[in-house]
Structure 1
Amino acid sequence: MTVELEEPPLESNAQVAKDLFAGTIGGIAQVLVGQPFDTVKVRLQSAAEGTYSGAGDVMKQLVRNEGLRGFYKGTLTPLVGVGACVSVQFSVNEFMKRHYDGKLNGGQLSLLQFFNCGAVAGFANGFLGAPIEHIRIRLQIQSGSVKQFNGPIDCFSKIYKQNGLYSGIFKGLTPTLVRESIGLGIYFATYEALIARETGNKKIARADIPGWKLCLFGGLSGYTLWIGIYPVDVVKSKLQTDSLTKPSYKGSMSVIKDVWAKNGIKGFYRGFIPTILRAAPANGATFAMFELTMRLIN
């Protein structure tokens, strides 16, 4: 007996394609706005103790030693990679929202359901985000005239040859999955709660919310994301900037013990200022571009 699988309707496939496209546009906007902040954050998180006195010192040294272009080191990887990651985040989140919506027959999703949608999107994205962020971070921390890597392809090739797939390319996967699942659950739940409040209070449709408010809601969502998961991001960055030949850490617990022993709770918040400064413009641009793109193509 053969079972024929029903093909998904063309409308469903078309909607997924639209979600992916709009997410890519949102991801590109996020990179262009947020990359300088991210470079400062990564250098603060990964530098040896005493290298920088703070975010301002990182910026001074970057401008002095590498010029303004230093803030956009490794941009090609996130421009392609983050575009792909954000497209996955938004498309999976939208798919999960439609899944719940079908079960509720058009009823309003609860905050927990919005969190679940974001968490599933984050978990799916983690497998794509971990290697992309690893390569980006390796390129971001390069300084001086002697370069270990000559670009993202060279970086990927050398890491793979030296350390393989899981221990090399996918280094930091576990904290990435934790960060993305919890973080994007908070992220999308916050945004949808703000959207629901706006449409409910003013009795307007989602499409009638102006672009500046979408930016505001996205920025606030970015704040809740990073406040909720920043220590996990520090652990991930420490793992992904560890020596490839003589690593100091065996895994996430090894990083946690080391950071706590050296700096206590403060060690888990190194680089937090540039991250929180980046959260509003980068995530505001992401959500606004996603929503506005969806309005144009739907």
Structure 2
Amino acid sequence: MSSPAASTPAKSGQIEEIPLPPPLQPAVPQNRYAGFVAGIFSGVTKLFVGHPFDTIKTRLQTAPVEQFKGPLDCFLQTTRKEGFRALYKGATPPLLGWMAMDSVQLGSLHNYRMLMKQHVFTDWEKLPPIGHAISGIFAGWTVSFVAAPIEQVKARLQVQYNAATKTYTGPIHCAVTLYKQAGIRGLYRGLFSTMIFRSYFFFLWGSYDIMTHWAKENTKLSTAAINFWAGGLSAQIFWTLAYPSDVVKQTIMIDSVTQPKFKRWIDAAKYVYQTRGYRGFFRGFVPSSIRAFPANASALAMFELVMRTMA
């Protein structure tokens, strides 16, 4: 039997057939669950660093204008009258809630990024900033279904100043009361406003990617330091742009679920403007801005560290 044609020497005037290399094996897919695990660690970190600032922010956003002169006065009144532990009022829902929210947010973000790279930006070597930004919007909308009831319970507990204003004994009592008053709709009052607020993740994750790549190419910072600084700065951009929508969201979330003042998002926005003017949309911004950098910088640095560990 003659040997295969590919192995016979080429005759004069013929082009020798060169065997093709074996096909490349597909890249090993990234761990689709890594982001969910890393997000848990991010949520815990964010709580301990950021919750006191969040309490001051929420009180300034929702209290009568004459109650506090500013963030420092709010901090002093809170600690003087209620003790330092009052800064962590409503911390139980976020402790569990931010673990759940960051797990869902960052886990879904990780998967949306992979889907973007596989189906939209297929010809790009790396996912471009716009891909990260769009993934951020989808992750924001996804986590809103977890965040809305958690943030509502947290906000209602944070604005209980004393025995006279105390309606709920704790997060479970608050959640049960809301459910009894209005069913599942009571717990999810403010879902639409939560989705509007989290649509600004477009700017958070787009700017985070840009800053991360810039720092890698132009600085000698360690990877952890780059994650920290990029996380903190991108969070500042996010909060500066998203803050007015957060004020509206908080206003809706502490509204009565049985006889609500605000039937639509725009009604709450008009109320903020009519009672406080344009400044009302930025009331409480200082503690929020101060909180944004350390809380998000440390949380994202932790997220990236766990992701690298699980790679």
Quick check: which one's helix share is greater?
1
Describe the SS at the equivalent of 1:19.
helix
Q: C-alpha deviations, 1:223-273, integer Å up to 9, x for none?
A: 011011111000000011123454332221111111112222111111000
Q: 2:247 aligns with which of 217, 234, 239?
A: 234
Task: Give, as a single letter, the amino acid of the residue that structure 2 aligns with 1:121.
Answer: A
Query: Which letter does structure 2 place at the counterpart of 1:188?
Result: W
Question: For residue 71 of structure 1, what is the aligned residue in structure 2?
Answer: 87
Distance 2:225 2:204 in 1: 18
User: Match for 1:174: what amino acid?
Assistant: F
How many Å separate the matches in 1 of 2:127 and 2:309? 25
1:197 corresponds to 2:183: no
Q: Take 1:110 and 1:69, find their aligned partners in 2: how far apart are those partners?
A: 44
1:50 and 1:243, CA in 2 relative to 1: closer, same or farther beyond 3 A?
A: farther
The yes-or-no answer on 1:164 pairing with 2:183 is yes
Say whether residues 1:151 and 2:170 are aligned partners. Answer: yes
2:6 aligns with none
- Residue 254 of structure 1, aligned match among 267, 284, 295: 267
What is the CA RMSD across the aligned residues, in angstroms? Answer: 1.8
Q: Is the 8 A contact 2:215 2:226 kept in 1?
A: no
Misfit runs of 4+, over 6 Å: none
Partner of 2:154: 136
1:272 to 259, 264, 285: 285
2:114 matched to which residue of 1?
98
Match of 1:187 in 2: 204
Shift of 1:105: 5.2
Q: Distance in 1 between matches of 2:53 and 2:103?
A: 21
Secondary structure (helix, strand or coil) at the match of 2:168 reads coil
- The code of the aligned residue for 1:187 comes to L
The whole-number CA distance in structure 2 between the counterparts of 1:226 and 1:257 is 21
Query: Which deviates further from its counterpart, 93-102 or 221-230?
Result: 93-102
2:236 to 208, 211, 223: 223
Instruction: Answer with 187-196 or 69-78: which moved more.
Output: 187-196
The correspondence of residues 118-129 of structure 1 with structure 2, limited to 5 A, is 118-129=136-147
CA distance in 2: counterparts of 1:83 and 1:258, whole angstroms: 33
> What code does the residue aligned with 2:84 have?
L
The normalised TM-score by structure 2 is: 0.86
Whether the 8 Å contact between 2:212 and 2:226 is mirrored in structure 1 is no
- Aligned residues, how many? 281
Deviation, structure 1 residue 101: 2.2
> Aligned with 1:226: secondary structure?
helix
Partner of 1:108: 126
Equivalent residue, structure 2, for 1:6? none
Instruction: State the TM-score, normalized to the length of structure 1.
Output: 0.89
Query: Larger C-alpha radius of gyration, 1 or 2?
Result: 2
The sequence identity of aligned pairs, in percent, is 35
8 Å CA contact 2:216–2:226 kept in 1: the answer is no
The counterpart of 2:308, out of the listed 281, 295, 298, is 295
SS at match of 1:40: helix
Deviations 1:3-55 (A, max 9, x none): xxxxxxxx76x822221110110111011100000000000001123111111
Identify the match of residue 46 of structure 1 among 62, 73, 78. Answer: 62
Which whole-Å CA distance do the structure 2 matches of 1:88 and 1:105 have between them? 28
